[in-house]
A and B are shown apart, each in its own frame.
Chain A
Amino acid sequence: MKFRTLVAFVGPSVFMMLLFIAAPLVSVLMQSFQVTQPVMQQIEVETCTPGFLTQTCITETKTVPLIDEETGKTQTTTTWVGLQSYRNLLQMPRVWDAISTGQWGNILQIDFWKALRFTLVFTLLTLPMVIGVGLAIALAVNNAVRSLRGPVIFISLLPFIITPVIGSLAIYWLFVGDGIITSLIERWTGNDIAMFAQAWTIELLMYVYQVWHVAPFAFVIFYAGLQTVNMDTLESAVIDGANRWERLRHVIIPHLMPLIIFIALIHLMDTYRAFEVIVGFRSQAHVISLQWLTYDFLTPDDAGNRAISRASASAMLTMIGIVVLLILPLRRTWRDHKGTT
């Protein structure tokens, strides 16, 4: 295919990606160094209250936003503040302070570090769980009677396909207050339990939700991979005296290795985006994620202002995080790619 034909075919797609992905990235980078604020002016306001004989008048100076006379909107100025937004976000002095006094826990009281810790732990801890559970389901389905496989796959796809907010809400409703499962546990243990009152129980439920939501994806891919396992190798392993566990360890898992890498890659990308689960569980008071932090800055506050600059800084840091996280698996794929060609 000639270069010009290729450009004609991929043109619209590349244009959309440049306009709506690459350009916003540049814009975010610029915004993170700038602060846009309404122009304030000081005016003298005389307020009078009626009184006996004369009215009482007080004159005070007030700071109000300057309003453009043509458009009727508040005027804004944009100033270059350099790394100020990043500093506000990271709060390094407090971090160093916490480190030097040895009170590491204090770092996690700063929103950004709190969000970073949760996002990383959430991503890295659920990864092995998703791969393990997915593989276990795939092996079990592969063992099952053929006529059962269709319905099992149908049921397994449900948690994967469901809207993430709704999925997390469904789990939330099972546990919230005296939800059905909470009251069941209470009856067993005899203790009063509030699942959404402290951070660690919320986090535990979030891991459960994430594995519930993503394991079907791993399962479907592993299941497809299991269909192509070489039967001859498996049988020769049996002849060589390998037991079930050794066959799994030395024949099946190496065969599935590329798929494990693929799932790990997709899982890192998708779970790092953890956001809907915070909304569904309404856990913002206890547990927050990086995406939620940016989202929170972007939602208008009571005065209707959006903290665009801080949101941009936190967005840039979020992006750096995912790049760092993906370097390892991507380098491996790159080496495999070079090795095969």
Chain B
Amino acid sequence: MSSKALAQPLALRVASGGFLAFWCFLAAFPIFWITVMSFKSPRDAFAANPADVIFGPVTRASGQGLSALDIVLGGTALIFALRWAFSALPKLIAKWTPPAWIVLGWLVGAAVYALAFVLAFVGILPVLLGAINGIAGPLGVPLIGLTTEHYIAVWAENAFYRNFINSMIVTAGVVTVSLTVGTLAGYGLARSGSNLAFWLLILALIFRALPHSVLVAGYLPWFINSAEILRPIFGEISPTLYGQPWAVIAVLVAINQPFTIWMLRSFFQNIPTELDEAARVDGCSHFQAFRRVIMPVMWPGVITTGLFSFLLGYNDFLVTSLLLDAQNQTMVPAIAGYFNRETTTTDQVEAVAAAVSITAPLFLLVMVFQRQIVSGLTAGAVKG
């Protein structure tokens, strides 16, 4: 709003700012609140008074909490760790990985950083601060109740790490296969003006609309009996597809395909055709042009689409809960196991802790990739 004629009166600005603040509060509050709850003892977590939930008197009385010293020292460490992640980490990754492997470098870098972060803030820091608190006197007395016992119960005793590993396998598979298959198709569709390409896109749009339960109803009988159905073809090695992570990966990739090709197509359309033509004049085949000329400039689009594939695989409840058995279960359906047991308040807070554990990676994802997510959301709508 540059021109003076469009300047706004104060009342409108205040109203708009107030509305925005209210929305931000609404957007963040439920997530913030379950995070707070997950660190308290059950009686505090479900206390009727908000102040009790935040300060946790019962948790504090049992000797678990943060002292003033903890807050100052831990907070400083946290700020430094976060600043390092945004300033020094990208440089370090850029320095140690060859340019062609930059995505892999980021994945490894992020994983190592996450591991070091958890180790430092859950393993080392509490022990260190505990020792300091012991000799600090009044500064070392807990101010805010805080306990990590529910996280320890969820991850160690209930073996949630197994669900985490399963989730990672399924998500990694979905992202890799979707992108490989989807970039090829997206490129083909973007560069072909034929009727076939148009009708394929319309068909994909119709497939996009199908509720997933419709498809799962189609898979289930086949997947359960697949060993017998496939026996005439593969003999004794024919697998039962039910409960196999790779079968679920195939299903999720197919479900995700319509969305992926639409999004990648709109990204490919932004790359000028002159680029392909130049490569073709220099003697490349279509595929060589795709691989050597187009893909190197396509990374932003691929990363964005990969993010949305990740979300689909990671957030899925319906497909994974129906097609995987208990030992291969991913994180989100595993939460359902907590509902059934949820009899005591301790169980409830453990379910909250598990829910927060599932949300934490997504939080990091938005933090790092906010720009890509926004560009992905708008790619389909504004340009397509």
A contacts, CB < 8 Å to B = 1, 3, 5-6, 8-10, 12-14, 16-17, 19-28, 31, 36, 71, 136-137, 139-141, 143-144, 148, 150, 152-159, 161-167, 169-171, 173-174, 177-180, 183-184, 212, 216-217, 220-221, 224-225, 228, 231, 234-235, 238-239, 244, 259, 262-263, 269, 272-273, 275-276, 279, 282, 290-291, 294-295, 297-299, 306, 308, 311-312, 315-316, 318-319, 322-323, 326
Contacts and interface: CB of A to CB of B under 8 A. Distances in A.
Main secondary structure of the interface of B (DSSP, over half): helix
B191 A1 contact: yes
B16 A166 contact: no
A307 to B, nearest CB: 10
Interface string B341-364: 000000000011001001100110
B23 to A, nearest CB: 5
B75 interface: no
A31 B217 contact: yes
CB-CB nearest 8 A-B residue pairs? A24-B218, A9-B188, A20-B254, A13-B185, A224-B378, A170-B30, A294-B213, A183-B48
A176 to B, nearest CB: 9
Contact of B188 (A1, A152, A183, A290): A1
B220 A235 contact: no
Contact of A153 (B34, B197, B314, B374): B374
A13 B211 contact: no
B185 A318 contact: no
Contacts of B211: 272-273, 275, 290-291, 294, 315, 318-319, 322
A221 B382 contact: yes
Contacts of B339: 282
Contact of A273 (B204, B212, B290, B374): B212
Given A180-B53, A275-B318, A306-B220, A154 B250 contact: no
A161 B19 CA distance: 22
A225 B209 CA distance: 24
Q: What bracket does the count of chain B residues touching chain A fall in?
A: 35 or more
A162 B359 contact: yes
Interface in B46-64: 46, 48-50, 53
A20 B23 contact: no
B209 A326 contact: yes
Given A144-B16, A163-B358, A299-B322, A16 B250 contact: yes
B382 A10 contact: no
18 contacts: A9-B187, A9-B286, A12-B180, A21-B207, A23-B218, A156-B27, A157-B373, A159-B31, A163-B317, A165-B317, A167-B30, A220-B374, A234-B6, A263-B381, A275-B318, A308-B221, A318-B211, A318-B214
A275 B251 CA distance: 19
B48 A140 contact: no
Nearest to A187: B48
A16 B180 CA distance: 12
B207 A17 contact: yes
Interface residues of chain A: helix, strand, loop or mixed (majority)? helix
Given A153-B374, A294-B217, A9 B184 contact: yes
Nearest to A319: B214
Contacts of A169: 34, 335, 351, 355
Nearest to A4: B286
A72 B286 CA distance: 55
Interface stretch (B108-116, B143-151, B255-263): B255-263
Given A166-B355, A234-B6, 17 more contacts: A9-B188, A24-B217, A28-B214, A28-B215, A148-B20, A158-B363, A158-B366, A161-B362, A161-B365, A166-B359, A169-B355, A178-B48, A220-B378, A224-B377, A231-B2, A290-B213, A322-B211
Contacts of A137: 19-20, 23
A269 B363 contact: no
Interface in B190-226: 191-192, 194, 196-197, 200, 203-204, 207-222
Given A13-B257, A14-B200, A163 B181 contact: no
A152 B194 contact: no
Contact of A21 (B19, B255, B374): B255
Contact of B204 (A17, A27, A239): A17
B181 A170 contact: no
Given A20-B254, A24-B218, A279 B27 contact: no
Contacts of B185: 9-10, 12-14
Contact of B30 (A3, A17, A171): A171
Contacts of B204: 17
A225 B383 CA distance: 10
B197 A6 contact: yes
B34 A170 contact: yes
B244 interface: no
Contact of A10 (B184, B332, B359): B184
Given A273-B211, A318-B211, A166 B358 contact: yes
B370 interface: yes
Contact of B253 (A16, A140, A179): A16
A180 B203 CA distance: 47
Contact of B286 (A1, A161, A216): A1
A170 B355 contact: yes
A118 to B, nearest CB: 14
A334 B71 CA distance: 59
B13 interface: yes
B121 interface: no
Given A3-B194, A221-B381, A290-B211, A24 B27 contact: no
A273 B213 CA distance: 9
Contact of B17 (A10, A144, A158, A163): A144
B314 A163 contact: yes
